[in-house]
Amino acid sequence: MGYVLGLGIGVGLLLVWSGLSASQATASQDAHPDPRPRRLAELLARAGADGMSASGLVGVCTACGVLGTVVALLVTATPTVALVAGLAAAYVPVGVLRTRAARVVAERAAAWPEAVDHLASAVRAGLSLPEAVAGLGTRGPEPLRTPFAAFARDYQASGRFSESLDALKARLADPVGDRVVEALRVAREVGGGDLGRMLRTLSAFLRDDLRTRGELVSRQAWTVNGARLAVSAPWIVLALMATRRDAIAQFGTGTGLVLLLSGVAVCVVAYRLMLRIGRLPQEPRVLR
């Protein structure tokens, strides 16, 4: 039980350290804002996890990895299997965030044409640009209301339209949002009599793109699901073997560790390669 107690103390110290480092990182970001968020920060923004920093995510992954290692070690009493289980557990928070980010991006992509129509109608009705954008926080599509409501609060507090647009673009982390935000910024600064026409054209283009992408995604789904089943099958068998210690003990040697790590590497490479070959082209954020 000594190593279990030691691991428990280590997890507690790790959580304390991650909390302190997250606070320091937040203070540093407030003092020196980065206009180009890093990959983890952008993932958090796409997933809508605004209350967590990148360092906090790393701390959560580390804590999950340690916890998964401890649980697997108690169940199997095989350090090599526990190591692989810890690696898998450490990836769980990132996998959850990526799944959530994909769902949020899909919901927002489906909502953008309606949001652009709202903006075009508001501009045509004579509302000011800040009022039109802030109105999406209450009358816009549900998936986009939260970031636009935050824009309304930012603009009401500061009265600075450009800075509020920058914060909105960072929350959206979306190429369509980048285009809409920059069009609104140009219209605000230099004037834009054709803004309403441009927004209506953009809305029609987004609907066509959404319809085409939906057909491709539906055809691609069976390939992705088959790949996930093929990758998870050997690890499901390994989890069933873990219930019999005499069988799982065969992986407790150095050869067993090499076999497990090789299996992990092959599965990860094959799965990522399949996703890269079959993925649909994503529009880059050239106006971030």
pLDDT at 35: 37
What are the CA-CA distances from residue 83 to residues 72, 80, 95, 231, 251 (Å)? Answer: 8, 5, 18, 19, 11
Per-residue pLDDT at 29: 42
The Cα–Cα gap between 180 and 166 comes to 12
Q: Is the dihedral of CA 20, 23, 28, 29 positive or negative?
A: positive
pLDDT at residue 259, rounded to an integer:
81
3-state secondary structure of 281: coil
Cβ partners under 8 Å of residue 117, min gap 6: 199, 200, 203
End-to-end CA distance of the chain: 52
Where helices occur in 32-141 by DSSP H, the ranges are 39-47, 54-76, 79-124, 129-139
pLDDT value for 6: 46
Spatial separation of the C-alpha atoms in residues 236 and 228, rounded to whole Å: 12
DSSP state of 253: S
Q: What is the pLDDT of residue 281?
A: 67
Distance from C-alpha of 135 to C-alpha of 198, rounded to nearest angstrom: 19
- The string of pLDDT tens digits covering residues 23-42 is 444 444 444 444 334 677 77
User: Minimal CA–CA distance to 151: which of 125, 119, 121?
Assistant: 119
User: What is the pLDDT at residue 5?
Assistant: 42
Which pLDDT belongs to residue 287?
A: 63
Looking at residue 286, what is its pLDDT?
Answer: 64
Q: Is 49 left (phi over 0), alpha (psi -120 to 50) or beta?
A: beta
Say what the pLDDT of residue 284 is: 66
**Quick one: pLDDT at residue 1?**
46
Q: Specify the pLDDT at position 32.
A: 43
54: tokens are: 């990148």
pLDDT at 205: 84
Low-confidence ranges of the chain (pLDDT < 70): 1-38, 50, 191-193, 247, 280-288
Q: Does the model's pTM come out above 0.75?
A: no
